[in-house]
Every structure is written in structure tokens, then in C-alpha cells.
Copies of this chain bind each other. A is one copy, B any other.
Amino acid sequence: MGSGIVSNLIKMGHTVTVWNRTAEKCDLFIQEGARLGRTPAEVVSTCDITFACVSDPKAAKDLVLGPSGVLQGIRPGKCYVDMSTVDADTVTELAQVIVSRGGRFLEAPVSGNQQLSNDGMLVILAAGDRGLYEDCSSCFQAMGKTSFFLGEVGNAAKMMLIVNMVQGSFMATIAEGLTLAQVTGQSQQTLLDILNQGQLASIFLDQKCQNILQGNFKPDFYLKYIQKDLRLAIALGDSVNHPTPMAAAANEVYKRAKALDQSDNDMSAVYRAYIH
């Protein structure tokens, strides 16, 4: 999470303990006044509310269920807020084990990117323990510009996957348009100018096209994570027998981009799948 958030939380008078598998990633937070936890279990033991954000369903489960994991620190009344973007089954399973130990659980995945995170401008989708959601309101204000409470556990996961599915599919479409412009001899800059004059104009469209025009694929939202979200969104559709042909087509394009070593670039690097 962005350093601005930790800094905000400390200014608000909260005591903040941080942990990361790669300890040096915590250095910046510690400089701002956070203390370093030794294990997830220790963080949970010493804090009222623990916020977690990891990369995928497996990491989310390992964090809770693994050795010295979150579950070891859960006691009645302890609060756990999982901000990872995972599937509804995973988050529901985690909620069950934490609640069965007397803990309180909230899922709260975030929509946005690194820059928005640093600026405390994330959109937070929350579901689960409504009281915990309200207890978190000042923290969420420090992190994001808006939060939504979506009811029972699993709803935030589903909604976030749908949001990211729309974003990931649109990104592939943008890349497809820009490459088709190039191979047919049209100016990509002019295409962007035209799109920016029309009703499709959005911050996302402009920023992602700028990335591509500048060949700057520094990760803002990792390509490997948007592909993971497309995969999970397709599986969500699968679970209810709902066809998602656009997401399915996009997913295949991102897989090609991953095969071209673009996993750790920004999602806009899906562009490269179209030019190789």
C-alpha cells in the first residue's frame, strides 16, 4: 500500500505494525513511524485491526493458514481486513476460518493503481462484517476517496473481478486499436487525439495510450495481475454458466503477452502481444 496511507494513519493517531515477506519493503513505512512485525501472527496479536493485501488466492490462503500465519494470532474480537483481489470462494473460506475462531472479517479489495494508492484516492469495495466496515471508516478515508459496502462476504470479490474484467478487456481493445492504426499507416497520436475528443475520453484511455506511445510500461497495474483477474472473472462466469467471450478473448491476448515476458510490466504492455 502507498506510503501516504501509513503516514495518514499515523497522523490520525493509530499505532501501525507492518510485515512483508520481503522485509525491506517495510523500510519506508518504518521511517514514517510504523513498527515492524516479525510474523503475520504477531501482527494480528498486537493489533486490533489487521489489513492485508497480497497478490492472488494462493498467497491470501498461505498468509492466513500457513505457519506463523494470521490464524495463529486470531482471538475473539480480532479484526482481519483482506484487501487482496481474489475469488469469492477463497475469501469466503478465509472468512469462515477466522469467524470460527471468534474473529471478525471484512473483505475490502481496492480499485486503482499505484499512483492513486499513494494519493489516497483508491475506490474500496467492502463486504462482510458491517460493524467492522464502520470501524474502518477513518482508515478507509485515509486510503481512498470512496468506499462501497456490498453485503455478504464474497460480493466485493465478485464486484472487483467484474470491474477489473471490464478494465482488462478494454485495455486489450485499446492496444488492438493502436496497433491496427500503426499497421494501416495511421498516426497513433492522431487516433488518441480523436478518441480524446469523443465520448470515450477517460483518464484510463489517455494514460494507457500515453504509456504505449511513449513505450513506457513501468508497472502501475501489473500485467500478470490483470491477467489473473481476467482468469478469475472468467471462472466466476463459469460458476454461473454465463458466457464472457470478450474476457475470454482478452485473456488469450494477455497470455501471449506473458509468454513475451511482459508479466512484470504494466497491463498496457499487452500492446506487445499485438506487435510480435
A: which residues have CB within 8 A of B?
Answer: 111-113, 116, 123, 125, 145-146, 148, 150, 155, 158-159, 162-163, 165-167, 169-170, 172-174, 176-177, 179-181, 183-186, 190-191, 193-195, 197-205, 207, 231, 233, 235-238, 240-253, 255-256, 258-259, 274, 276
Contact = CB atoms under 8 A, between A and B. Distances in A.
Nearest to A201: B202
B244 A167 contact: no
A220 to B, nearest CB: 10
Contacts of A202: 199-202, 205
Given A123-B198, A172-B246, A249-B248, A166 B177 contact: yes
Q: Interface of chain A, helix or strand or loop or mixed? A: helix
Given A112-B198, A163-B194, A248 B252 contact: yes
Contacts of A237: 180, 183, 255
20 contacts: A111-B197, A123-B194, A148-B190, A148-B193, A159-B186, A159-B191, A162-B186, A162-B191, A165-B173, A166-B177, A176-B246, A179-B242, A183-B237, A184-B236, A184-B240, A200-B202, A201-B202, A202-B202, A248-B248, A248-B251
